[in-house]
A and B are shown apart, each in its own frame.
Chain A
Amino acid sequence: MKRGRVLIGALGLLALLGAVVVIGHALRHPDLPTGVSEDQLEGSDPRDETDCPQPLPREGQARDEQSRSATILDVSSNNLYDCPQHYDGERVRYRGEVVGALLHRDTGVWLQLNDDVYAELIGPLPAHRDYRGGNAGVGVLLPTQLAAQIEFIGGPQTRGDVIEVEGTFNRIDPSGEVAVIRADTAELTTNGEPFPDPLLPDRRAAAIVAFLLATGLVAAERVVARRR
């Protein structure tokens, strides 16, 4: 086989793959504006030095009661995971979107509260193309009666309720769970809702064409195979 033919074949293959990617771009969800500036990115970068608000106690040492804050601390999930020892046992206020599932137990209801940009700022994907990274959230144990107000749980095509909880952050909870908030108050701040994912006509048409093409080729291959 000549090198020229190999080169042409390789280039042709690359062009075909490129065409598939271009078609993929054309068939994506519409690029709707979110009205949020580009400069905010979620998540901690491992290259950043973690700057905890107070000096951490020595490793393995428990903090004394007097060193705890008298006020309620407003926290994000990044704060809690970056400096778990600093916030351990502190009373915190935390707000986020309910996602995943409500896990009803005898001790209360476990839920996951996400405080990433998709929770409140720009809304969930794929309703827009403002990609801001992965999710971030904290596990919260809520008394059963407080969990009753939650109606929408974030997930596919559903934006979850946003609630604000107050409670104690435990680096290690008495239940054995790690880095969770044991909440005693919860307030529904924003109602969740199902978000529409309107049918994309171009994608549907492309699917029909691809299906017909594949079916036609299967039929042709069967005919050729029978002749052989």
Chain B
Amino acid sequence: MLLRPDRRDIVIIGHLTGLVLIGTGLVMFIPATLAILWGEHNEAAAFVIAGCLAILPGLLMRLRARSFRPPRWDHGMIVTAVSWLAAPFFAAIPLFLSGHYGSFLDAYFDAMSGFATAGLAVINDLDHLARSVNLWRHITHFMGGQGLILIMLSLFPAHQGAMGMYVGEGREDRILPNVVHTVRFIWQVSLAWLAVGSLALWGALLSAGMPLAEGLFHAISLFMAAFDTGGFAPTSAGIGLYHSPLTEAVITVLMVAGCLAFALHHHLWRGRWMQLWHHTEMRLLVASVAGLFTLMAVGLASSGAYTTVGELLRRGMFHLLSAHTGTGFNSIPGRLFVTQWGTLAPAAIVLAMGFGGMAGSTAGGIKLIRMAVAAKGLRQMLRASVLPRDAVTIESVHQGQRSVLHDPAIRAAYTILLLYLLLYAIGAAAGLFYGYPFTEAMFESTSAAAAVGLSVGITGPTMETGLQIVYILQMWLGRLEFVAVLSLLGFAWSTLRGRT
């Protein structure tokens, strides 16, 4: 019998969601402070308003809820799904008040894109945007890439139900026995990369001729977008602004680092470098990049987009890795994908976007482990069909340690894979409905659902509202990998149809 949730369930969910919003609101005081220092007083006021508004619901819930029972696993899932809708709402307020968005929905789109680390943008006149708001866009990448729940668990660590929320955010790997310790480790790695990556980027930008202070601002912003596989850039020209192969090289390293599972980072952190060789996802990433780059090289060579191997390698590999890692940076104007790249090279990009990075990383997409499990499941089935009936076929994957694949894991991988394919197709169908050619519609839909951010020009301030809403839902579903959203839908259904 379907049971209707009671008031206590609402209190638990409200309370935990409130904590996520408190975390989001507190982070807004960072750009608020910088806005004051940079003389952007209207923006400072906007951040204070948005920060306080985000904090209020959490505080009200804490005042109202005197006590509540320990959260269950499904509560954690629902909190994650709701938080990922609510936090972009408050994050959109300073964006909207910046005066660069035509509607609140536009601002919400960019906030969701920021948190989901997609990097698609509908902002008007980005090149004159206030510095603090520009930084806030990149901070949303950092928050979303690390995980909103992860930030909440960092600020308020002693919460039961943490595992449900953690998994609901698309993370399955518990790197250390305790979730709180895992969260701390993820921060440790990220902050170390922040220091090293920002300095390396700053150096590259200075060597490219960037002024000192401006270079630092760009370096920090680009780091957050690269390591958290986001894709926002400080100016509309993207990475093309810098005309610097060195900057592109540093960004490439950061993008790849961002798409590695934090569990793999943990092994590397401990000096276990051989894990790079044994890790199933790492092997698949290398194979996939090699295969897709071959496809792309053939496409680019036949379209005549680039005439030398060096140019082809620089542009092709950067964009392929940008797509595969789910970052979405581009170093050429997006229009050239349509007018210069032919069909085969963009197809390789679409496949790379669809595959995505490693599970338990900041990357989006189907994820390499699911691709590997699905492929091994298929191989197991084929082997079983040709071998004698009593032969036992075993497939395994290596993620830190070798584990044998069982049917439930294979079924789960296929289910999520199918859901992603369906999500890509729905977005493409929406694009077709609004009159875009199939190739462009498929490219943009995959980019949104896999949280990549490369664009052929469909996404922009003048895009249709209906398509905008479809892409917002795609980013939300794609980032949370369906499970948390399905839990929320189940909760809503039982509220309407369940019995007390």
Contacts and interface: CB of A to CB of B under 8 A. Distances in A.
A156 B130 contact: yes
Interface in A163-200: 171-172, 175-180, 197, 199-200
Interface string A40-70: 0101111100100000000111000000000
Given A99-B127, A131-B102, A220-B63, A46 B303 contact: no
Contact of A213 (B4, B52, B102): B52
**Looking at A81, A118, A126, which has the most chain B CB atoms within 10 Å of its CB?**
A126
Interface string B100-137: 11101000000000000000010111111111001000
Interface string B315-355: 10000000000000001110110111010000000000000
B435 interface: yes
B460 A134 contact: yes
Nearest to A141: B243
Contacts of A177: 240, 243
A84 B460 contact: no
B41 interface: yes
B124 A47 contact: no
B462 interface: yes
A17 B89 contact: yes
B2 to A, nearest CB: 14
A82 to B, nearest CB: 6
Nearest to A57: B304
B60 A204 contact: no
Interface stretch (B167-175, B204-212, B283-291, B370-378): B204-212
Interface residues of B, number: 91
B391 interface: no
A101 B98 contact: no
A47 B461 contact: no
Given A27-B49, A82-B339, A213-B52, A1 B241 contact: no
Nearest to B55: A214
Interface in A93-132: 99-105, 109-110, 112, 114, 116, 118, 124-126, 129, 131-132
B458 interface: yes
B97 A203 contact: yes
B66 interface: yes
A181 B125 CA distance: 22
**Looking at B55, B235, B242, B243, which has the most chain A CB atoms within 10 Å of its CB?**
B243
B311 interface: yes
B42 interface: yes
Interface string B289-309: 000000000000111101100
**Top 8 nearest A-B pairs by Cβ distance?**
A126-B99, A60-B304, A103-B209, A210-B52, A124-B128, A135-B236, A207-B45, A214-B52
Given A78-B335, A133-B461, 6 more contacts: A1-B6, A59-B342, A100-B127, A131-B101, A171-B340, A203-B42
